Chain A
Amino acid sequence: MSSALAIESEVASLIVEALHLETRAEEIDPDAPLFGEGLGLDSIDALEIALAISRRYGFQLRSDDERNGQIFASLRNLAAHIEKHRQR
Chain B
Amino acid sequence: MTDPLRRSLPLTSRPGNGILFRRNGESIAVGRFLADVAALAARLPPRTHALNLCADRYNALLAFAAALSRGQVVLLSSDRSERRLAEISAAYPDLALLVDAEIEAVRGEAPWEPPPGAIRVAPLAIPRPDGPNPRIPLDQVAVIGFTSGSTGRPAAHPKTWETLVAATVAAGERFGLQGGADIVATVPPQHMYGFETTIMLPLHVPTTSHAGPCFYPVEVAEALHAAPGPRVLVSTPLQLRALLGAGTAMPPIEAVISATAPLDPALAAAVEAGWNTRMLEIYGATEMGSIASRRTLEGDCWTLYRNVSLRQAKDMPDGTEALVEGMAAPVPLADAVELKEGSQFRLLGRRTDIVKLGGKRASLASLNRILLGIPGVEDGVFAVPEDLDRNPSARLAVFAVAPGLTAEAILAALRREIEPVFLPRVVTLVPALPRDAVGKLPRAALEGLRRQVAGLA
A contact residues vs B (CB 8 Å cutoff) = 19-22, 33-37, 40-44, 46-48, 50-51, 54-55, 60-64, 67-69, 72-73
**Sorted from nearest, which 4 A-B pairs have the closest CB atoms?**
A63-B213, A60-B218, A68-B107, A72-B108
B110 near A73 with CB under 8 A, answer yes
B105 with A69: CB separation less than 8 A: yes
Complex Cα spacing A67 to B359, Å: 25
**Once the chains are docked, how many angstroms separate the CA of A30 from the CA of B192?**
37
* Residue in B106, B245, B248 whose CB lies within 8 Å of A68: B106
Question: Contact at A60–B426, with CB atoms within 8 Å?
Answer: no
Bound complex: CA A75 to CA B358 (Å): 24
Q: Pick the most buried of A33, A34, A68: most chain B CB atoms within 10 A of its CB.
A: A68
B393 to chain A, nearest CB (A): 6
Q: List 19 A-B contacts (CB under 8 A).
A: A20-B425, A21-B425, A35-B109, A44-B238, A44-B393, A46-B108, A46-B215, A47-B239, A50-B242, A54-B246, A60-B246, A60-B248, A62-B219, A63-B213, A63-B216, A64-B105, A69-B105, A69-B106, A69-B108
Decide if B411 is an interface residue (CB 8 Å cutoff). Answer: yes
Tell me which residues across on chain A come within 8 A of B392, comparing CB atoms.
Answer: 44
Query: How close is B322's CB to chain A, nearest CB, in angstroms?
Result: 28
Nearest chain-B residue to A18 (Cβ)? B393
Tell me the chain B residues, 211-246 only, with Cβ under 8 Å from chain A: 213, 215-219, 238-239, 242, 245-246
Say yes or no: is B75 at the interface (Cβ < 8 Å to chain A).
Answer: no
Instruction: Please give me the residue from chain A that is nearest to B397 by CB atom.
Output: A22
* A34 to B110 CA separation, bound complex (whole angstroms): 11
- B411 touches which one: A40, A63, A68, A72 (CB < 8 A)? A40
B25 within 8 A of A: no
Q: Is the CB of B358 within 8 A of A22?
A: no
| Inter-chain contact A33/B110, CB cutoff 8 Å | yes
Bound form: Cα–Cα A63–B218 in Å:
10
Partner of B420, one of A40, A48, A63: A40
Q: How far is the CB of A16 from chain B (nearest CB, A)?
A: 12
Q: Which of B321-344 contact A (CB under 8 A)?
A: none
Contact A69 B246 (CB under 8 A): no
> A35 CA to B219 CA in the complex, in Å?
21
In whole angstroms, what is the CA distance A41 to B411 when docked?
12
Interface residues on B, range: 20 to 34
Q: Is B423 an interface residue (CB 8 A)?
A: yes
Q: A-B contact count, CB below 8 Å?
A: 90
User: Contacting B111 at CB < 8 Å: which of A19, A41, A46, A69?
Assistant: A69
Asked, given contacts A60-B218, A69-B111, whether A44 binds B245 with beta carbons under 8 Å apart, the answer is no
At the interface, yes or no: B396 with Cβ under 8 Å from chain A? Answer: no
B358 adjacent to A44 (CB under 8 Å): yes
- Closest Cβ of chain A to B437, distance in Å, is 32
CA of A36 to CA of B109 in the docked complex: distance in angstroms?
8
Residues of B within 8 A of A51 (CB): 217, 242, 245-246
Contacts of B426 in A (CB 8 A): 22
- Residue contact B213 to A54, C-beta cutoff 8 Å: no
Among B105, B218, B358, B411, the residue within 8 A (CB) of A42 is: B358
Report the separation of the CA atoms of residues A55 and B244 in the bound assembly, to the nearest whole angstrom: 12
Kindly report which residue of chain B lies nearest to residue A54, judged by CB atoms.
Answer: B246
Contact present for B421 and A40 (CB under 8 Å): no
- Least CB distance from B434 to A in Å reads 21
Whether the pair A35, B108 counts as a contact (CB closer than 8 A) is yes
Please give 11 more A-B residue pairs, beta carbons under 8 A apart, in addition to A34-B108, A69-B107: A22-B426, A35-B108, A36-B109, A44-B421, A48-B393, A50-B246, A60-B246, A62-B218, A63-B216, A64-B105, A67-B111
Docked Cα-Cα span, A73 to B109, in Å, equals 8
> In this assembly, does B346 line the interface, its C-beta being within 8 Å of a C-beta of chain A?
no
Contacts of A48 in B (CB 8 A): 242, 393
| Residue among A42, A46, A63 having the largest count of chain B Cβ atoms under 10 Å | A63
A33 and B106 CA atoms in complex are apart in Å by: 15
Is there an interface contact between B425 and A41, defined as CB atoms closer than 8 Å? no
The one of A33, A37, A60, A63 in contact with B107, judged by C-beta atoms closer than 8 angstroms, is A63
Does B128 sit at the interface, judged by CB under 8 A?
no
Distance to closest chain A CB from B11 (angstroms): 29
Q: In the assembly, what is the distance between CA of A60 and CA of B247, in Å?
A: 11
> Which chain B residues lie closer than 8 Å to A46 at the CB level?
107-108, 215
